[in-house]
Amino acid sequence: MTGISIHELGVAFSAKDGRVIAVDGVTQEVPERGFVSIVGPSGCGKSTLLSVIAGLYAPTSGHVEVGGRRVTGPDRAVGVMFQEDSTLPWKTVLENVRFPLQVAKVPKSEQLTRAQQAIDLVGLGGFERRHPAELSGGMRQRVALARTLAMRPSVMLMDEPFAALDQQTRLLLGAEVLRIWRETHQTVLFVTHDISEAILLSQQVWVMSYRPGRIIDVVDVDLPEDRDASVVATPAFNALQNRVWEVLQAESMRGFAQENAVPASGVPAS
């Protein structure tokens, strides 16, 4: 069982202007082999939530279980894809993808076959000896994806992996992720700020609020399992998108007002 369960999770940071509550009272489940997306305004705590699940930060309160076991630190069965470009510029594509296998002391011949499989899976065959500087942003994210997949994790945590890419590339890579997920059937928690991407990819969408970061809406995506990009033209898709959009819009406005509020006035513009 490799679902994710989040119990009363809270994360606070002490900043110059006082305490920032990045994540507050989040209790949610990602079922085993489920694909769940999180959408929310910038700075609402999505990355923080994912980092805690990945075992990279300790929460201030509450806890997370992955596969029934309490998270106390990073786990090699949990693959993480970061929001920033995390390809190592001094390594070739093959070396980048091999890196976690090398760290895990997988036998060398197996390292190479598994890395090659992952590279082929994300469609980067032929680019093994290139360095990241020679690749486009989309290809670099594919390298990061291949690197995560090479470890064959049972859980994938993906933090806006395609946010920096153009719309076409993002759609393409989203379809790729979906195809790979159907093959590997991992449990996926996917962060994005693109509502249609979230609905297109996942079975459930969590909408997160801005400061404190709470899950304010959970939307089940009852669209066909084997859908492709053409589904965006259907009324069902539209209805889902409108629902998420309404919640998110109100939230974004509140966040924006809060961010730009004069501290002295003290009146939240909600």
Ligand X SMILES: Nc1ncnc2c1ncn2[C@@H]1O[C@H](COP(=O)(O)OP(=O)(O)OP(=O)(O)O)[C@@H](O)[C@H]1O
Chain contacts with other proteins (rule: CB under 8 A): 51, 54-56, 73-76, 78, 80, 82, 84-86, 88-91, 99-100, 102-104, 131, 133, 151
**Does residue 47 bind Mg ion (CB under 5 A)?**
yes
Distance in angstroms (rounded) separating the CA atoms of residues 100 and 147: 7
Separation CA 77–CA 74 (nearest Å): 9
When binding is defined by CB under 6 A, the residue of 42, 234, 249, 258 that contacts ligand X is 42
Distance (Å, whole) CA 252 – CA 247: 9
Q: Least distance from C-beta 83 to Mg ion, angstroms?
A: 5
Binding mask 50-79 for ligand X (x = CB under 6 A): ------------------------------
Which residue lies nearer to ligand X by CB, 73 or 224? Answer: 73
Assess 196 for contact with Mg ion (CB under 5 A): no
CB of 39 to Mg ion, least distance (A): 12
| Shortest distance in whole angstroms from residue 224 CB to other proteins | 34
43 binds, among ligand X, other proteins, Mg ion, none (CB under 5 to 8 A by kind): ligand X
**Six token digits for residue 97:** 């993808």
Return the axis-axis angle of helices 108-121 and 137-150, rounded to nearest 10°: 130
Interface stretch with ligand X, choices 36-44, 72-80, 199-207, 261-269 (CB under 6 A) = 36-44
Residue whose entry in the numeric block shows the structure tokens 């990241």: 132
Q: Which does 90 bind (CB under 5 to 8 A by kind): Mg ion, ligand X, other proteins, none?
A: other proteins
CA distance 14 to 132: 36
Tell me how far the alpha carbon of residue 73 is from its chain's centroid: 18
Q: Smallest distance, Å, CB 212 to ligand X?
A: 10
Of the candidates 180, 146, 240, 208, the one whose C-alpha atom is nearest the C-alpha of residue 35 is: 180
What is the four-CA torsion angle of 110, 112, 118, 122, rounded to 10 degrees? -170
Q: With CB under 6 A, what is the number of residues at the site for ligand X?
A: 14
Binding-site string for ligand X from residue 171 to residue 210, where x marks contact by CB under 6 A and - marks none: ----------------------x-----------------
How are beta strands 18-30 and 4-15 bridged, if at all?
A: antiparallel
Q: Based on the number of CB atoms within 10 Å of its own CB, is 253 exposed (0-12), middle (13-18) or buried (19 or more)?
A: middle
Query: Which residue type occupies 257?
Result: A
Among 264, 257, 256, 244, smallest CA distance to 38 is for 244
Beta carbons of 49 and 26 less than 8 angstroms apart = yes
Verify binding: residue 187, Mg ion, rule CB under 5 A.
no
Q: How far is the CB of 80 from other proteins (least distance, A)?
A: 4
Q: Which is nearer to ligand X, 128 or 160 (CB)?
A: 160
Taking the complex as a whole, the smallest distance from the CB of residue 51 to ligand X amounts, in Å, to 7
| By CB under 6 A, residue 5 contacts ligand X | no
Q: Does 83 bind ligand X (CB under 6 A)?
A: yes
Q: Which of 10, 45, 79, 153 binds ligand X (CB under 6 A)?
A: 45
Cα–Cα dist 24/150, whole Å: 33
